[in-house]
Chains A and B, each alone.
Chain A
Amino acid sequence: MAKITEKHSALSKVGKYTFEENKPKAFERKNTTESSYRVYEDGKVGIFYHWGQMDDEEGFAKAVAVPDRARPYPFEPENGGTRSRDKTECTVTDRELMEMGDAYMEYLTSNYPDFIFAGDVKAEWMRQTLTNSLGTDFSNTDFAVSAGFRFKHRNSRDLMDGYFSFSLRKPDDGTVFRTMADLYLANFGTPAEIPEEIILDMQYYGLAGSLAGELNAEALALGTSRLAGKIGEKVFADDFSLVHDAGDKECWFSRFWDGEGSVLPEDKLVLVENGVIKTGYSDKRVAAKYNVPYTRTAAHNYSDLTSPGGLNLRIPRSEKTVKELLAGRYAVIPVSATSSPADANGDTSLVLTTSLLWDGERVVGRLPEFKVKANFFDMFGKDFIGVGSDDPIYNDKQILIRVYRVK
């Protein structure tokens, strides 16, 4: 194989305005450049990872400078051609960001004087690129404004009572922030009763991530996954599917290529379809070693070889809104909660230190601390209710699952 050079890089610019105890604390800037220089030759790759500016010639030279650290790579690098994706919708100046933060804090302190707030507003721009000497020239550019605030009631003995956050590609007139703040805080002091049937209403990234861990093709092949031997079997609910979607417009700063420069057809890989496990996910090494399907899903590892990963997980939405999925029942919004890792049987516990009861539109009040249990298989099986078609309270996708109270 002739020598092939490849460069992965990420350029990011972040501005952050922070608050402590209701007052501005700092304005922070962070501009970073991160590069991975890779030189492929004779079934090996030399890798040099660098933070900061560097001349490319020097970076590639360093990638081959330490021969005993060259890593085996008996695969062809990709020639993906040219593709550029720009998801940015606007830019925000430092001054605009600070005005936004001040307006948010003014709203919180004026409307909710019984609380103490801390947090930040942040504007982040990032361009990620992949180029190689075979002709690949990829780039992805994105920008988001995010806000996150911790809150504590002045009478609380806890260090904090809760946290809410959201991200937007383009700042709105403050409606998203005010709606979220009101939902979390307006009825925080109103006691509510724990319902008989407990339905959790959460953002699903953590849950989907733990499920994805079980779909790593290497773990499936070696038998250390709870889903080993179940490819092609129906394991989960009829209406539960799981997709790696590199084109998901609702994901921030995601790339359409994987850590090895591969691109999926239509940017999608279906992992679970209507409850049936369709495939694990692999990179080139794992696919070759275990003779399993190659799914173009290598994590982005700038400093070493890849491994399977780097997923943008999406559970397809139901056609029903959250309120329609609840069908007159109440759901529990975890505000401050801690879960245990699933044990060998897939059982897990969750302590809901602070949570809110709501009907899909309106928060009824705050629940006392309680504990629930759930099972890994059941959360996506008999206890899966759905992902709403709308984004209430979190301004993001949310999953409804049934869990069981532990007295």
Chain B
Amino acid sequence: MSQKYRFPEGLYADIRIEENCTAQLVKFNGELVRDKMQTEAGALIRVYDGKLWYTTSTNELSEIQKELDALAELATPNPDIFEDPALKLLEVNTDERLQYEDRKLENIERERFLRVLDHYAGLCEAENAPEKTTWAATINGEYLKKSFYSAKGSAITYDYQLCSAGAWCTFVVDGQPTEGGRQFFGVVPEDLFGNEDIVKAVFARYIDYAKNAVPIEPGEYTCILSPIATAMFAHESFGHKSEADYMLNDKVLRDEWVMGKKVGSDLVTIVDSGDLPNHGYVPYDDEGTKARETKLITNGVLTGRLHDSNSAATLAEELTGNCRAQDYGRSPVVRMTNTFLLGGKDSFEDIVADTKDGIYVYAVSDGTGNSTFVLNATVCYRIRDGKICEPVRVRMLTGSVFQTLFDIDRVGSDFTMFNEFVCGKMGQSVRVSAGGPSIRVKKLQVS
């Protein structure tokens, strides 16, 4: 096939071009403090000679061929380059998936953003609790068009768009601030209208929490995680351990996470898929690999992990479409996309009713994952005798991933996907989504 670029002989090379548009408008206490729309375009060019990758990034798209030729000068041509085990695995795909061109961000009039912003500003202003001290309404949008061309013949273009809007208030009780609110997602601004009752209920919950939360006695508790807490748990506690670039020639980790090993309770199935229309949508990864569903854990048994071509070749496993970079200025590494713990059969009410003593983790802010994972909680409640009781101030939940996956003994039917997440690894942040149902964990450390 004819190629858009002239690739150097005896070397592997690929080119990733990203064109994006972002919009952000924020009203803070009635004043429009952010109002911007910006576009950006750039490319990452990579050349590989079998020993070293040489990369450069540029904003001058007309200079790509020149940059590619200059990089090739640094590398050492290798007639057998395409016999490299990782390169042999690389797929050759040609596709164009432009789903959002007719409604892409840069063509959306500012007035349409402002109308949604004013809608959420109105919801904030309508909250008349005396504890409300500040409020902010937000609307954000992101459009990304990505193209990928490789020396093996791939030529892929796809786009992605997401808008979000939110309403946030800070409630000050006895001089102590508590911030609460909710963010909503859609493709165009008009998708974001509505949600009045949800926002009102969220504010009421945070006001109650600010006024009534009591300290928790640190210790070990049975915890019921809400769907968003489960989503973060799935991402942090296990998801990062499924990224195979951590274990290329690491015997201990390879033995620890050997396929077929029982790593959790029968109720646990965790999946990653870049092909879902969520915030981790990556139909082709940054090596041109087509997205697929990867079952990481199936009924408690380790059945998959996430790969780029190097890790797949090293571990003699298949590509999964998880090689991602933050932007055109970075080289890709193994990352999650849309990662979720599948729902079960139990209703949330039944799980609570079946819990004599514990903590209900309603909201979390962030987390980290190592052998000991951490979830930072923002709103929690005490559970006594099967009922949700007073709000409690929990800062942190911790557990061992090796144990906690086995300690999941109830899985709810209220599965939900969340687009709120941004994942950090090796200095790069990528958009991801995560999902899950309410789950019960027999014990977590709470402080």
Any B CB within 8 A of the CB of A252: no
Q: How far is the CA of A9 from the CA of B111 in the complex (A)?
A: 30
Give chain A nearest CB distance to B333 CB in angstroms.
Answer: 9
Known: A29-B56, A51-B40, A344-B178. A159 touches B172 (CB 8 A): no
Q: B57 contacts which chain A residues (CB < 8 A)?
A: 29-32
Any A CB within 8 A of the CB of B403: no
CB-based contact B176/A351 at 8 Å: no
Q: A349 contacts which chain B residues (CB < 8 A)?
A: 395-396, 447
Q: B52 contacts which chain A residues (CB < 8 A)?
A: 24-27
Most chain-B Cβ atoms within 10 A of its Cβ — which of A20, A52, A340, A349? A340
Known: A32-B59, A51-B40, A69-B35. A351 touches B372 (CB 8 A): yes
Number of inter-chain CB pairs below 8 Å = 151
Q: How far is the CA of A125 from the CA of B59 in the complex (A)?
A: 18
Known: A28-B331, A304-B36, A353-B370. A345 touches B55 (CB 8 A): no
CB-based contact A343/B42 at 8 Å: no
Q: How far is the CA of A24 from the CA of B248 in the complex (A)?
A: 14
Partner of A30, one of B54, B251, B329, B376: B329
Any B CB within 8 A of the CB of A262: no
Give chain B nearest CB distance to A363 CB in angstroms.
Answer: 21
Stretch of A184-192, A221-229, A393-401 lying at the B interface: A221-229
Q: A71 contacts which chain B residues (CB < 8 A)?
A: 35
Q: Which residues in A have some Cβ–Cβ distance to B below 8 Å? A: 18, 20-21, 24-33, 47, 49, 51-53, 68-69, 71, 116, 152, 154-160, 222-226, 228-229, 303-305, 307, 336, 338, 340-341, 343-345, 347-349, 351, 353, 369, 371, 373, 406-407
Any A CB within 8 A of the CB of B278: no
CB-based contact A226/B371 at 8 Å: no
Q: A33 contacts which chain B residues (CB < 8 A)?
A: 59
Q: How far is the CA of A369 from the CA of B366 in the complex (A)?
A: 20
CB-based contact B33/A226 at 8 Å: no
CB-based contact B56/A30 at 8 Å: yes
Q: How far is the CA of A345 from the CA of B176 in the complex (A)?
A: 6
Give chain B nearest CB distance to A367 CB in angstroms.
Answer: 14
Any A CB within 8 A of the CB of B53: yes
Partner of A159, one of B178, B241, B376: B241
Any A CB within 8 A of the CB of B393: yes
Most chain-B Cβ atoms within 10 A of its Cβ — which of A21, A225, A228, A344? A344
Q: B40 contacts which chain A residues (CB < 8 A)?
A: 51
Known: A340-B396, A373-B447. A222 touches B134 (CB 8 A): yes
CB-based contact A338/B59 at 8 Å: no
Any A CB within 8 A of the CB of B161: no
CB-based contact A303/B38 at 8 Å: yes
Q: How far is the CA of A229 from the CA of B246 in the complex (A)?
A: 49
Give chain B nearest CB distance to A406 CB in angstroms.
Answer: 5
Q: How far is the CA of A154 from the CA of B250 in the complex (A)?
A: 7
Q: How far is the CA of A163 from the CA of B74 in the complex (A)?
A: 30
Most chain-B Cβ atoms within 10 A of its Cβ — which of A28, A116, A225, A228? A28
Any A CB within 8 A of the CB of B326: no
Give chain A nearest CB distance to B152 CB in angstroms.
Answer: 19
Partner of B395, one of A24, A25, A155, A348: A348
20 contacts between A and B (CB under 8 A): A26-B53, A30-B57, A31-B56, A51-B40, A51-B42, A51-B59, A116-B250, A222-B29, A222-B133, A224-B133, A224-B170, A304-B34, A307-B33, A336-B370, A341-B366, A343-B395, A345-B176, A345-B393, A349-B396, A351-B372
CB-based contact A344/B177 at 8 Å: yes
Q: A51 contacts which chain B residues (CB < 8 A)?
A: 40-42, 59
Q: How far is the CA of A157 from the CA of B38 in the complex (A)?
A: 44
Known: A51-B42, A338-B367, A373-B447. 17 other contacts (CB 8 A): A69-B35, A154-B250, A154-B251, A158-B370, A222-B134, A223-B172, A224-B133, A225-B177, A305-B34, A338-B368, A338-B374, A340-B374, A340-B395, A344-B213, A347-B395, A349-B447, A351-B372
